[in-house]
Structure 1
Amino acid sequence: MREIVFDTETTGLDPRSGDRLVEIGCIEMVNKVTTGQVFHAYFHPERAMPAEAEAVHGLSEAFLSDKPRFRERADDLLVFIADSPLVAHNAGFDFGFLNSELAMCGLEPVCRSRMVDTVGIAKRRHPGAKLSLDALCTRYGIDRSHRTKHGALLDAELLAQLYVELMGGRQIGLELAAEAASAAVADGGDTAVRREWRAPRAHTASAAELAAHAQFLATVNDPLWAR
């Protein structure tokens, strides 16, 4: 199954108050394995960058001044995500900004039925625990030492690893392999395991073997079984 893990960076917390999307990072996964296909873009926010937001992600007005507007890359983004489920951490936040930008372009919003929220998954698995991306990466031993500031693509990469762990970790690969093998055998395809039939081995000792064993026992001095 194809899924897109994504993250966003913004000018603030609420698109309804005029905050805008400034970065998006998307990573393609198929059967919970990253494929190497990504979509990453920075956007000119068409407004000032608050200092508190810049302190979080490090994206300044000067850096974003020559970047495209969201509407210039919207079609490319929609082609990449297609109709796949979209995985995000605190997904309601990211969906809110994404759909706000799409609305300003006169485009249809992404249906929230496609939303997979890893915060919700983590809350069910670890009730009462800290649910931030940093805290969950620490819990699952995911290296984030190279993360000094928030970045959409970097956070999406960390989230992709976390998502796999939340959904079963390495056991996923074992389950998929078993399913693939079962399907192959059922289909009778080229990948089906075919073994040559062999007659069962005889496990009863022959007369010659029994005689050789008796001859060997006769050479044992003071055997325990004879006491």
Structure 2
Amino acid sequence: MAGSCCHKHRKHAEGVSSFDFFDQTQETQDLGPLFDAGVRMVFFLIIPATVGMIALNRPIVLLLFGRGAFDLAAVNQTGQCLIFLILGLWAVAGTRLFVAFHYALSNIRQPFIAGVVSIGCNVLLCQFFVQRMGVIGLGLAVSLSAVAGFVLLAASGPFGLRGRAVPVCACRAVFMSVIMFFLVRWIWGFWADSSKIFQAAGLIISITIGAGCYLAGARLTSNPEMAMLIRIFFKQK
């Protein structure tokens, strides 16, 4: 009896000690499809959000801050800063996903290294771009440092991007977002010279129509990420 218990305990200990978070074991391989789906969903949602904010950056800044001492020159400069900041939005969201998966595998070393590299890049790039572009260079430095952290995490770890699903998803999202960009800019043109109240209404309408057209296009083209979003929203299996 005691020998059997010792044998089971030894077998359990051997099973635990043989697991390595840095090897392509069955456990990490099982995370591959889930991780790819997460990255695809990030690109599917973040890319149109980025393009939409680029299309409406000036109206958004004008309605939120364009009053008092915040003149048109400040609005234009803030809008340019916003563009450079949101260019790295996809990298920030993707990095958050990478970090969550690394933490799930009890691996904190690589997220820590990526964070240090991102901070170091931010400091160096701020020194470089601010001297040449002024305050606008701060937004560009933040975006590029986020991309550096994303690339470092994507190139390391026990899992990675497999196959063509993620690049194809990104290309689809970019294509539909470009169409949405021109549509949103065209709709906003009807409200640009109106009063503040009508501009606010026009901005809401432009965002709603742009998002609706993007999602409708994804639905009509049988986009797998759209089907995934519907399952998540309606809690379907």
Greater C-alpha radius of gyration: 1
TM-score, normalised by the number of residues in structure 2: 0.24
